[in-house]
Every structure is written in C-alpha cells, then in structure tokens.
Amino acid sequence: MELKFDDKGLIPAIIQDADSGQVCMVGYMNRESLGLTLSSGEVWFYSRSRQELWHKGVTSGNRLIVKEVWRDCDSDAILVKAKPMGPVCHTGNQSCFFQELTAADLAA
C-alpha cells in the first residue's frame, strides 16, 4: 500500500525509544526527509514552521539513530523506533510528552 501524505505532502512520524518503548516526540516528514531517514540511519523531518528539511540533533548533538521504521494500518502515519543520543525534547527532557493533561486543563 502506498503511503498517504496529506495535501501539503507531509505524514506524521511518531518517534519511539527503541529500548524503553517511551514515545519521544511527533514530527512530520515529506518524501525527501523520509528517504533520508531510511537511507542515512538518522531521523530527518520537514519543519512546517521553517519550510525546510531538518536533521534532528544536527545542532544539539542529540541525534536519533534509526532502528526500525513502520507504517500504520492505513499508511497515513509512520512509527520510527530509534536510539536517542541525548534528550529528545528542545526543553532538555528525554521526551516531549512530559506534561500530563487533565480535564481541568480543558476547563480553563
């Protein structure tokens, strides 16, 4: 089945720590960044805000080493199991998912 990129040519990519199973982050890939991810062994994204390719960790040194890449059952999302070479989140946290969401957050 062919991958289903959205109308902007992007597909969501969930990054999971290959060892711990922790979900680290979500980014977006276009065909070029997905191709680079598969061929280079390191994670590349397409930055929606900067409108350019983004090699994860190139400035911080906290690269993501690809172990496996999977597509979901509808072929409209990618799961990358990777080995983080340091904190994944720009805040310095290991994962971007460190803030619990509760019903009270929706009431605000």
* Sequential pLDDT tens for the chain (108 residues): 799 999 999 999 999 999 999 999 999 999 999 999 999 999 999 999 999 999 999 999 999 999 999 999 999 999 999 999 999 999 999 999 999 999 999 986
Counted domains in the chain: 1
**9 close to 33: Cβ distance less than 8 angstroms:** no
> Is 103 among the domain residues?
no
92: domain range?
A: 11-98
Distance CA 66, CA 70 (A): 11
Residue 16, Cβ density class (10 Å: 0-12 exposed, 13-18 middle, ≥19 buried): buried
Tell me the CATH number at 79.
Answer: 3.10.20.810
pLDDT for 92 equals 93
Instruction: Give pTM, 2 decimals.
Output: 0.93
